[in-house]
Structure 1
Amino acid sequence: MEILTQNQSMDSQEIAELVDSRHDKVKQSIERLAERGVITLPPMGEKPTAGRPSSFYIFSGEKGKRDSIIVVAQLCPEFTARLVDRWQELEAQAYQPQKPTELSRMDLIQLALQAEQENIELRGQVAILEPKAKGLDRIADCTNVLGIREAAKVLKVGQNQLTQYLLDHKVVYRDNFSKIQAYQKSIDQKLVHVVTSAPRLFESGEKVFTQVKLTQKLITRIAKWLEKGAAA
């Protein structure tokens, strides 16, 4: 029996309330997961909030249910059960017009088996996603590229510790003036990005300065290494 229909839906604002999180953070996580291909970006809707329209994502149907569970498992794994309870409430509402006596014994057995199967699958999804969520929440506020100092703050490690990691793993090196420089292979692999400043005028003439910045790809890799407590 198919319980969940397209009429049952949940928006990102309701998810934010369920997990006690800011709505913009929930929307940001949805967009990042969609960019990585983990979920499908849901359709957008609008509703008035304090006199102004507010946009939100709408999850509906079985696909929406799956994707919303993944979003919450990444945001706050401990609130996943709360989301599942909400979906079950929506499913129960779909059957309110139907009297319990109209369900046959076979229908009840099928409902029980389906619920148990969904619980087993959900536990498996949370077991897989929870370690990733713990590692990725270190970089929840990280976008584009960051300097070593800024990346160290995001990763919650010392700047010297992060620098030594980059040196040990041949991501960067120190030149003759002890300045951090990027290996070409690191640039090619999109682990780092070298930013060149606008020319500055000195008595000796114009000079430009370069700075090595870490990409989100590299920061994610380091976050996973820190969670494991061993070199990646």
Structure 2
Amino acid sequence: MSILTQNIKTMSSREIAEHCDKDHRNVCRDIDSLNESYAQMALLKVEQSDYVADNGQSYRQYLLSKEQTIDLITGYRADIRIRINRRWAELEQQAAQPVVALPQDYLSALKALVTSEEAKERANAEIKQLQPKAAALDAISHAKGSTGIRETAKAVGMGQNEFVAWCTNPNKPASARFMYRDHSGALNAYSHRIDQGFVTQKLSCFIGGDGRDRTAPKVRFTPSGVTQIAKLLQQERSRELEAV
């Protein structure tokens, strides 16, 4: 038998707007912002296309892959993420239903077997690529608003000291770090991570041991930051396993 596979599934920005109870123009605005982040990270942008409305006019829309959809709706409410995840499950179920045609001869049967094995390899590669996203979504499901260093470390499955060492690792370029220590040893957030929306920082006031008022920077991680860290950690662990 030969199995005729379908094209890669995408979800339109209009469908996302419908499932998320948002105006389509606002979803497009969010995708424009997402594309700016993709450009900074040298990632493939979301593809734009046109559709014809009931009034006969042509308007823009976007076509998103599953990974791009997850990137987009990560910052939305939990109920929205659930609805989108359920919709993707429906799309993938449709794609999993093959169209079967009987081979006409022995050579066709052999070609069908090779094609089937190649399809399995491609599917496994896609699953491996999406695993970091799945781990990231699991991590942020427990995060409501911004979280402190200890809570963030727990969310991504690390001890606090191990997490701080990972965020400040001097063996990484500054662009890949999240925090650094100033001359007094206090942890500070890198400005580029603040600009990316991954962390926030403000001064915290307290009374020192000498009875005087003191201030110190207080770093907190946004849900998007927790997502990004969980994804990076999963990617690092996957590379370590491949190297074994």
Question: Which category describes the TM-score, using the shorter chain as reference length?
Answer: 0.3 to 0.5
TM-score, length basis structure 2? 0.43
Give the TM-score, by structure 1 length.
Answer: 0.45
- Larger relative contact order (CA 8 Å, sep ≥ 6): 2
